[in-house]
């Protein structure tokens, strides 16, 4: 009986988790649909056609989001690895970690509102660089905290051993630290990619409406009461994280160890 309940709970959980991957693509094919009909009156490829052929607004936002998220995740993962080392091995370790946590604890919209003035002064408000920098303020602290557990006593001893064997610090990073950190880097890249990909508050405020990422587009279509385009945008929104998750599943779902 208990086993049957567990099995049923598992099936329900899987169905609920998989539901967006079925419903959202389906909704993107909805045509005319009037209340109180349970199903749409017409189905259409029009929305996908416009996305696939003319590379319209959604296509541009998709590519823009992809570029921003890839750039943010790459910078945050590599920068986080190096900065985390400095924090982990310094005498200011606890303080460093505390300050790393501060931006993550604040509401992104509130944080962005505070920062907007400085971004405007620096000429970064409403620019691609500004949005990437703003997202880094969330992604980088996350990466620093994530890599903190990587920089253990064992890694330090590996570095020192490599040095005593005649390796320069650059060579040690390239041939010892980088390969050993690879699974950690992949997981961090995945997580910071998701942070950037789904980021709304900082992007909308610092982007000043000029940087229209896919997440912003979903909200825009919902506000416009355009469920088909919102569903299409949302389908595109859940696709890259799902692909990344599938590629990195052996690192994401298994405990990463040395």
Partner 1 sequence: MELKHISKSFGAQQVLTDISLVLEEGHTLAVLGKSGCGKTTLLRIIAGLELADNGEIWLNGKNMSGVAVHKRNAVYLNQEPLLFPHMTASANIAYGLEVRGVPASDIRRQTEQMLAELGLEDQGHKRPHQLSGGQRQRVSFGRAMIIHPSVLLLDEPFGNLDPDTRKQMQELFMRLSTAHRITSLLVTHDLKEAILTGQQTAFMESGVLTMYPDTGAFLSDPRTGGQDEMAFWKKYNQS
Q: How far is the CB of 145 from partner 1 (least distance, A)?
A: 24
Q: How far is the CB of 157 from partner 1 (least distance, A)?
A: 6
Give whichever of 32 and 157 is closer to partner 1, judged by the CB atom. Answer: 157
Q: How far is the CB of 180 from partner 1 (least distance, A)?
A: 6
Give whichever of 140 and 176 is closer to partner 1, judged by the CB atom. Answer: 176
Give whichever of 164 and 223 is closer to partner 1, judged by the CB atom. Answer: 164
Give the residue from 258, 148, 240 showing the smallest Cα distance to 198: 240
Task: Please tell me the distance from the alpha carbon of residue 186 to that of residue 1, in angstroms, as a whole number.
Answer: 41
Give whichever of 111 and 151 is closer to partner 1, judged by the CB atom. Answer: 151
Applying CB under 8 A, the residues found at the interface with partner 1 are 154, 157-158, 160-169, 171, 175-176, 179-180, 182, 258
DSSP secondary structure letters along the chain: -HHHHHHHHHHHHHHHHHHHHHHHHHHTTB----TT-SS-S-B-SHHHHHHHHH--HHHHHHHHHHHHHHHHHHHHHHHHHHHHHHHHTSTTHHHHHHHHHHHHHS-HHHHHHHHHHHHHHTT-TTSHHHHHHHHHHHHHHHHHHHHHTTS-HHHHHHHHHHHHTT--HHHHIIIIIHHHHHHHHHHHHHHHHHHHHT--HHHHHHTTTTS--HHHHHHHHHHTT-HHHHHHHHHHHHHHHHHHHHHTHHHHSSPP--
- Rounded to whole angstroms, what are the CA distances from 91 to 82, 96, 220? 16, 9, 47
Rounded to 5 degrees, what angle do the CA atoms 226, 192, 245 make?
Answer: 75
Give whichever of 127 and 167 is closer to partner 1, judged by the CB atom. Answer: 167
Give whichever of 36 and 166 is closer to partner 1, judged by the CB atom. Answer: 166
Q: How far is the CB of 156 from partner 1 (least distance, A)?
A: 10
Q: How far is the CB of 133 from partner 1 (least distance, A)?
A: 34
Q: How far is the CB of 144 from partner 1 (least distance, A)?
A: 24
Q: How far is the CB of 137 from partner 1 (least distance, A)?
A: 33
Give whichever of 31 and 169 is closer to partner 1, judged by the CB atom. Answer: 169
């Amino acid at each position: 009986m208990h086993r049957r309940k567990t099995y049923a709970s598992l099936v329900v959980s899987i169905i609920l988790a998989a539901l967006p991957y079925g419903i959202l693509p389906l909704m993107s094919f909805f045509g005319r649909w009037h209340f109180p009909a349970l199903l749409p009156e017409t189905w259409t490829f029009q929305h996908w056609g416009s996305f696939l052929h003319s590379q319209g607004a959604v296509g541009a936002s998709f590519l823009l989001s992809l570029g921003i998220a890839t750039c943010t995740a790459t910078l945050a993962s590599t920068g986080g690895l190096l900065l985390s080392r400095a924090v982990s091995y310094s005498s200011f370790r606890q303080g460093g970690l505390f300050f790393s946590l501060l931006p993550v604890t604040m509401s992104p919209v509130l944080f962005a509102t505070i920062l907007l003035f400085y971004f405007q002064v620096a000429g970064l408000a409403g620019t691609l660089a500004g949005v990437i920098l703003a997202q880094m303020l969330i992604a980088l602290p996350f990466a620093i905290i994530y890599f903190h557990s990587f920089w253990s006593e064992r890694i330090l001893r590996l570095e020192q051993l490599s040095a005593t064997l005649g390796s320069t610090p650059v060579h040690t990073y390239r041939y010892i630290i980088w390969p050993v950190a690879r699974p950690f880097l992949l997981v961090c890249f995945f997580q910071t990619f998701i942070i950037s990909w789904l980021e709304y508050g900082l992007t909308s405020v610092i982007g000043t409406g000029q940087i229209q990422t896919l997440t912003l587009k979903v909200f825009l279509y919902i506000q416009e009461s355009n469920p088909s385009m919102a569903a299409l945008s949302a389908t595109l929104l859940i696709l890259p994280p799902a692909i990344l998750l599938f590629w990195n599943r052996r690192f994401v779902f298994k405990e990463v160890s040395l």
